Amino acid sequence: MSAQDPVLKKIISAYRGETLVSRGDPYETLLRAIVGQQISVKAAASIWLRVEKQISTKDPKSILKTSLKKMRACGISERKYEYMCSLAEHFKNKKLSPQAWSGMQDEELIEALVDVRGIGRWTAEMFLIFYLLRPNIFPKDDLGLQKAISLNYKKRYPMSLRTMRSFQKKWDPWCSVATWYMWRSLDPIPVEY
């Protein structure tokens, strides 16, 4: 990528030796993504600590046995509780099975994830990038990515779909890598999910 793109070459060289690393449990990672939707990172961390004290965040049955009242006491809204239960049902009933994911194409897996109430395409894409480390995910609707491309390549913001697709084509088959470096160009602290 560095040989083909001088802008990326400069950014990559600034973060030499750093890589994206998967962490955590798939169910817990998705559960945490739901908890953190549309709230600040600080608020999400605080709520997550309370949730961890209330339930086993690695066992889907735990959320299904926990009342809405207890979850509300943790700071979880009724809607997020419904989303968390939908995720738990999908794992419990093996509609989402991590063992099958390695054999699934990116779009097929995104479709399976968005079948969970409360998980949209963006959340699914972040999961594929940060948890599964899929190399060619291009979250074209991500505002941070659009902003980084605009700043680094001197393009108009917000981006047109046509412009975003041109970058997707340019970076294929390493869109996840290019995206991560674009995010890094905005914030030297690594993006984690």
Mean pLDDT, residues 169-189 taken together: 92
| Rounded average pLDDT over 149-153 | 97
123 pLDDT above the threshold of 80: yes
The Cα 16–Cα 14 span in angstroms is: 6
Question: Which pLDDT value is given to residue 193?
Answer: 59
Q: What is the pLDDT of residue 97?
A: 93
DSSP conformation letters of 97-133: -HHHHTTS-HHHHHHHHHTSTT--HHHHHHHHHHTS-
Residue 187: pLDDT band by 50, 70, 90 thresholds? confident
pLDDT confidence of residue 9: 96
Assigned CATH topology for domain 26-130: Endonuclease III; domain 1 (1.10.340)
Q: Cβ of 140: how many Cβ atoms within 10 Å?
A: 18
Contact criterion met (CB below 8 Å) for 48 and 61? no
Q: Is residue 192's pLDDT more than 70?
A: no
Q: How far apart (Å, rounded) are the C-alpha atoms in residues 120 and 110?
A: 9
**What is the Cα–Cα distance from 98 to 155, expressed in whole angstroms?**
39
162 half-sphere exposure, CB direction, 13 A CA radius: 1
pLDDT at 38: 87
Distance separating alpha carbons of residues 90 and 96, to the nearest angstrom: 5
Domain with CATH 1.10.340.30 in the chain: 26-130
CB proximity list for 103: less than 8 A, separation 6 or greater: none
Q: What is the pLDDT of residue 147?
A: 95
Q: What topology is assigned to 6-19+138-186 in CATH?
A: Endonuclease Iii, domain 2 (1.10.1670)
Average pLDDT over the chain reads: 93
pTM, full prediction? 0.89
**Predicted local confidence at residue 70, as pLDDT:** 97
Q: Average pLDDT of 44-60?
A: 94
Residue 191: per-residue pLDDT: 60
pLDDT tens by residue, 79-106: 999 999 999 999 999 999 999 999 999 9
Mean pLDDT, residues 124-133 taken together? 94
Q: What is the pLDDT of residues 15-37, one digit of tens each?
A: 988 888 888 899 999 999 999 88
As a whole number of angstroms, the distance between CA 94 and CA 91 comes to 5
Q: 62-93 burial by CB neighbour count: b if 16+ within 10 A, else e? A: ebeebeeeebeebbbeeebbebbbbbbbbbbe
Whether 148 and 183 have beta carbons less than 8 Å apart is answered as yes
**pLDDT score, position 42:** 87
Could you tell me where in the chain the CATH 1.10.1670 domains are found? 6-19+138-186
Q: Which are the catalytic amino acids? A: 142
End-to-end CA distance of the chain: 24
- 125-144 average pLDDT score: 94
